[in-house]
Amino acid sequence: MTLEQIQNTVSYIRSRTDFEPEVGIILGSGLGGLVDSIDTRAAIDYKEIPGFPVSTVEGHKGRLIFGMLGGRKVVAMQGRFHYYEGYTTQQVVFPVRVMKFLGIRYLFVSNASGGVNPNFHTGDLMVITDHINLLPNPLIGPNIPELGPRFPAMNDAYDPALIAKADEIAAQEGIALQHGCYVGGTGPTYETTKEYGYFKAIGGDAVGMSTTPEVIAARHMDIPVFGVSVITNVGLSGEKSTHEEVQIEGAKAAQRMTRLFTKMITNL
């Protein structure tokens, strides 16, 4: 993806709306319900946006929503793109780069994930404190200097100040939070028992099929990131997962995640 392609897409979106968002939000499987809390000012289907891939996964609506949440201007991706759909990781992160040029100063990401930590339970919210990326790095290829440096640092990939704010708000609101490291893999298979054991051994607390490329792209562009995983099953418990169950558990936890995101955005 070139700088010109990003700028062309930004120009198209600006021809559809003059709304200038401060915060970008990416919603994972079964978590699209957060958009119901957004006072929507404009919505554009991905299929209408030049350069955007199209969501092919059930539970991912495929719309860019512009509006107000917690008194702030936001743009929300109702549905994301995945490497397992056949897209490159450069295509997967293209919308993050577009959101940066639309004006976002923070990125909030969410996903549905399998719990690796045996202390987790289905329906838990895990604040992502770090990640292990097992997907192709989206920065492979020529660097675009206008976006960021050739070798960006990834320590504090998830902003410590935002994590501290989340803990403070969660305590006030009575929202239980777990904390941990997210492992991003390719999918589309759910993990074997041995794979879950491996992810635990290397320091993972939850595993999914998204998020890490988007966070890498955001940090390359110096955007602070806050991330939450909704634990939709616990892998080492012997539970078997279906995509339908993931969506159901995601929807149940989405209300708590929406409260957390809204209060945090209000307090930015």
d(CA 18, CA 1): 24
Q: How far is CA 212 from the centre of its chain?
A: 8
Where does residue 182 fall: left (phi above 0), alpha (psi -120 to 50 degrees), or beta otherwise? Answer: beta
| pLDDT given at position 235 | 74
Cα 33 to Cα 26, 242, 248: the distances in Å are 12, 20, 12
| pLDDT given at position 236 | 67
| pLDDT given at position 74 | 98
| pLDDT given at position 239 | 59
Q: Coil, strand or helix: which one is 54?
A: coil
The residues facing 43 across adjacent strands are 65
> Where exactly are the structural domains of the chain?
3-266
Strand ranges inside 143-193, DSSP E: 178-184
> How crowded is residue 37: how many other Cβ atoms within 10 Å of its Cβ?
17
Cα 5 to Cα 12, 104, 145, 248: the distances in Å are 11, 18, 15, 37
State the DSSP string of 109-132: EEEEEEE-STT--TT-EEEEEEEE
Q: pLDDT below 50 — which residues of the chain?
A: none
d(CA 158, CA 126): 13
| pLDDT given at position 237 | 60
In sign, the C-alpha dihedral spanning 196, 251, 158, 214 is: positive
Task: Provide long-range contacts, Cβ within 8 A and 24+ apart, for 137-140.
Answer: 137/89, 137/213, 137/216, 138/89, 138/90, 138/92, 138/93, 138/213, 138/216, 138/217, 139/216, 139/217, 139/220, 140/89, 140/90
Question: Model-level pTM?
Answer: 0.94
Question: Which residue's entry shows tokens 């995983």?
Answer: 229
What pairing do the DSSP bridges indicate for beta strands 106-115 and 23-27?
parallel
In words, the CATH class of domain 3-266 is alpha beta
Residue positions annotated with a catalytic role? 29, 60, 82, 84-85, 112, 209-210, 233, 243
| pLDDT given at position 89 | 97
Residue pLDDT, tens place only, 174-209? 999 999 999 999 999 989 999 999 999 999 999 999
| pLDDT given at position 240 | 62
